């Protein structure tokens, strides 16, 4: 069983990696960005509330994303592992995740941080063509990442659960590096 947190700036390739790893481990990929975008297109009350934050590149309020994650991690398919992509995004969310996992008697294997230089992030996001990928929003998302999310690198390093990975390598090599680092954090008796 694998429980992995993917960290990294917007555009680092977390979604691409999460998808490949979810297939490899046959485990759910939980992307708060995808869940929020689905809520927006379904015009749910969550979507209506989240939309303006997303369009501005700001974080959606913590209580909304935390309750979304709480609900998801209580579903049957996530009892056998998960890959978190885009959550946690700040210290409040990271602490809430710790509390939630303690409550449901789960623990993460490690947080893999995808390291990518800014110029590459911007180019990748501009090439993606997502609705919130305008230049101003991209700039704001990077600022928010630096202010609120990057401190989580030391949060997980302090817990001896951090693995930094070069996110500027070939996609398949990055996938391999993540698999390897998760293996190193897990008990030797579990199959990979």
Binding site for ligand AMP (CB under 6 A): 10, 32-33, 36, 53-54, 57-60, 65, 86-87, 89, 93, 141
Min separation Cβ 57 and ligand AMP, Å: 5
Min separation Cβ 97 and ligand AMP, Å: 10
Residue nearest to ligand AMP (CB): 33
Paired with 164 in beta bridges are 113
Beta carbon nearer to ligand AMP, 16 or 176: 16
Three state DSSP letters for 109-166: CEEEEEECCHHHHHHHHHHHCCCCCCHHHHHHHHHHHHHHHCCHHHHHHHCCCEEEEE
Paired with 4 in beta bridges are 83, 110
Beta carbon nearer to ligand AMP, 28 or 190: 28
Beta carbon nearer to ligand AMP, 10 or 13: 10
C-alpha dist (Å) from residue 158 to 106, 118, 186: 19, 25, 18
Query: Residue 10: is it exposed, middle or buried by C-beta count within 10 angstroms (0-12/13-18/19+)?
Result: buried
Min separation Cβ 188 and ligand AMP, Å: 32
Beta carbon nearer to ligand AMP, 53 or 183: 53
Min separation Cβ 106 and ligand AMP, Å: 18
Min separation Cβ 88 and ligand AMP, Å: 6
CA 161 to chain centre: 15
Give buried/exposed letters for 162-187 (b at 16+ CB in 10 A, else e): bbbbebebeeeebbebbbebbeebbe
Beta carbon nearer to ligand AMP, 121 or 162: 121
């Amino acid at each position: 069983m694998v429980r992995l947190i993917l960290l990294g700036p917007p555009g680092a390739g977390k979604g691409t990696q999460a998808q490949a790893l979810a297939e490899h481990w046959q485990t759910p990929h939980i992307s708060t960005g995808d869940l929020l975008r689905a809520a927006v297109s379904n015009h749910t009350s969550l979507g209506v509330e989240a939309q303006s934050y997303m369009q501005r590149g700001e974080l959606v309020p913590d209580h909304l994303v935390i309750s979304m994650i709480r609900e998801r991690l209580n579903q049957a398919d996530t009892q056998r592992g998960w890959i978190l992509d885009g959550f946690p995004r700040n210290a409040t969310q990271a602490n809430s995740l710790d509390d939630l996992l303690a409550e449901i008697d789960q623990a993460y294997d490690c947080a893999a941080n995808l390291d990518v230089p800014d110029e590459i992030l911007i180019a990748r996001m501009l090439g993606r063509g997502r609705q919130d990928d305008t230049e101003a929003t991209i700039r704001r998302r990077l600022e928010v990442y630096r202010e609120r999310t990057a401190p989580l690198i030391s949060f997980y390093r302090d817990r001896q659960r951090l693995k930094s990975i070069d996110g500027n390598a070939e996609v398949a090599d990055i996938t391999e590096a993540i698999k390897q680092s998760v293996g190193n954090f897990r008990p030797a008796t579990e199959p990979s």
